[in-house]
Amino acid sequence: MKLKTFLTTTAFAALMAAPALAQQISIKAGVLNDRSGLYADLSGEGSVIAARMAVEDFKAAEKGIKVEIVSADHQNKPDVGSTIARTWYDQDGVDLILDVPTSSVALAVNQITREKNKIHINSGAASSDLTGKACSPNTVHWTYDTYALAQGTGGAMVKAGGDSWYFLTADYAFGHALERDTAAIVTKNGGKVVGAVRTPFPGTDFSSFLLQAQASKAKVIGLANAGGDTINS
């Protein structure tokens, strides 16, 4: 449903910009995500299949719109994602990049997309910086973000009595943003943050970090992570 909305909107915008409705419009969309790591189950091949289904559901061909879907694995690495984005835009004729989970990668793609004056529709990353300090007219952040997560879960937990927090924070953009936004809500509602620890991203063994959290006597252990990291912790 998300990608269907994205592609429908993009195709409509292209139609409006076309000099003649009878002229065929070609759109090349790149689905850039984690296809082999801790976020593969949240995006991966499933997002690519969904994008192709969205093209079929929209009946693009019947509307004179040719849509090509390409995909790649950014491996949750900003440098890899940046290289793919530049290659797609500069050499492969990609018009827009979709999905992009992993906030550090999304922020890099966000900047490159602005430089190239292309389109980035993000439905995978959650850092509120995408609509905050890194806000771009070329990026649509169509998803939850860390501010929303903090306002909902963080605020509700404090009001329910969970007024002391210790964070296990994935050491990258998303984790930092989620800890920052949630800590602000906790303190605003009268709670306190008694400690935090940065964990490797991605991580496999969280036992020592959980022992630190347990020793803090905090009522709430806030997992500022996602995907496989949340499962492992």
Question: Is the model's pLDDT at 62 over the cut of 90?
Answer: no
| Candidate from 4-8, 61-65, 111-115, 208-212 with smallest mean pLDDT | 4-8
pLDDT in tens, 192-202: 999 999 999 98
pLDDT at 20: 47
51 contacts: CB under 8 Å, gap ≥ 6: 3, 7, 29, 31, 69, 98
pLDDT at 50: 95
pLDDT in tens, 117-149: 999 999 999 999 999 999 999 999 998 899 999
DSSP state of 67: E
Question: Is the model's pLDDT at 4 over the cut of 50?
Answer: no
In the predicted model, what is the mean pLDDT of residues 215-221?
96
Superfamily of domain 146-232 in the CATH hierarchy: Response regulator (3.40.50.2300)
Q: What is the model's pTM? A: 0.81
| Percentage of residues in the chain having pLDDT higher than 90 | 78
The domain spans of the chain are: 2-141, 146-232
Positive or negative, the CA dihedral 169, 211, 206, 43 is negative
Cα-trace Rg, the chain: 20
CA–CA gap between residue 31 and residue 70 (Å, rounded): 6
In the predicted model, what is the mean pLDDT of residues 83-103?
98
In the predicted model, what is the mean pLDDT of residues 34-56?
94
CA–CA gap between residue 169 and residue 165 (Å, rounded): 12
Question: Is the model's pLDDT at 25 over the cut of 70?
Answer: yes
In the predicted model, what is the mean pLDDT of residues 161-172?
96
Measured CA to CA in angstroms, residue 15 lies from 19, 24, 25 at distances of 9, 9, 7
CA–CA gap between residue 189 and residue 159 (Å, rounded): 8
| Candidate from 20-24, 86-90, 100-104 with smallest mean pLDDT | 20-24
Q: What is the architecture of the domain spanning 2-141?
A: 3-Layer(aba) Sandwich (3.40)
In the predicted model, what is the mean pLDDT of residues 207-222?
95
Fold equal for 2-141 and 146-232: yes
